[in-house]
Amino acid sequence: MSVWVALAMLFFGTFALSCLIPILEPHLREIFTPHYTVEGIVLAAIPLSFAFGTAIWQWLITHDYICGLDSVSIAGLIIVAVTLLLLGPSKAFNIPIDLLWLDVVCFLALGGAASMIYTSTINALLEGAELKKMNKLAAYSTITTMIVLTQSIALVIGAPIGGSLFQYLDFQTATSIISVILFCVCALALLHCTVKCVLTVRQYRRLVMASEAEQAEARRTRTFRAPVMGASAAAASSPKPTILDRNFSRNSQFTASRLTDRRPLLASPTGKGRSYGTYL
């Protein structure tokens, strides 16, 4: 997963939640007037589900139960977009706005989706740090800085936009507009991941074909020279097959290193290697 794609997913996920900061409280006050205790309990569902979701998704990623970090991040953003449509709820659904259970479910879904985006972003940044061969202290300090900056910028941009949408429109329309923005971002992210996967598969295929061609050339050279010069003379006077064999070995090792994970920061507690699909 690209570092910039991971940060973009984190930015828009935080942006969506920050848009809700200035508009959730007035919306809930209209429904639960004057039950401020109920309002506080309902809002507590977001950090509660985020805390449990972060632990669960980090365990799944660490133990190799996740095929790719891109899929987790994009799925989390899609869940946020769908939840915002139901939180309004959108006028297209014709759902009453005073359903307490629907608000609780939406807040739990928002926290869980945010945990998906957050954990996948951290692991993607760890992969980027390993590719740069950074030590652990520099890696974690850099990752923390990037996450804090991304979330801060998203909060600064999202909160005024959410307040403006609520002021000039209404809560249902505001959440629908934010949801449409997230769906557009998800579509671009899916397009990027698809193109990247296709290019990666083509690159691996070229590496394998080049290695097979060099191995076949080495075999043809041995077969042609051995009957003419004799086995001992061919072995002594034809270093080219040895060079080709070494090139084939290097290419094979390079291909294998691209398909396996030897990154210490991301080592699995179970001792298993991470799936190469995680890095597409």
- Mean pLDDT, range 144-148, rounded to an integer: 88
Tokens of 14: 């935080």
Amino acid at residue number 103? D
DSSP label at 230? -
Which of the pair, 187 or 262, is modelled with greater confidence? 187
Predicted TM-score (pTM) of this structure: 0.71
Q: With beta carbons less than 8 A apart as the criterion, state whether 106 and 31 touch.
A: no
Burial class (CB in 10 A: 0-12, 13-18, 19+), 12: buried
Tokens of 81: 């977009």
Query: What is the rounded end-to-end Cα distance, in angstroms, of the chain?
Result: 6
| Mean per-residue pLDDT over the chain, rounded | 76
Which of the pair, 160 or 238, is modelled with greater confidence? 160
* Residue 12: per-residue pLDDT: 92
Q: Mention every residue, 6+ apart, whose C-beta is less than 8 A from residue 29.
A: 39
Rounded CA gap, 136 and 269, in Å?
A: 17
DSSP label at 94? T
Q: Is the pLDDT of residue 199 over 90?
A: no
Rounded CA gap, 85 and 173, in Å?
A: 9
What pLDDT, in 10s, does the model give residues 45-55? 888 899 998 88
Q: Is the pLDDT of residue 24 over 90?
A: no
Q: Which of 3-17, 67-81, 254-268 has the lowest mean pLDDT?
A: 254-268
Which of the pair, 242 or 77, is modelled with greater confidence? 77
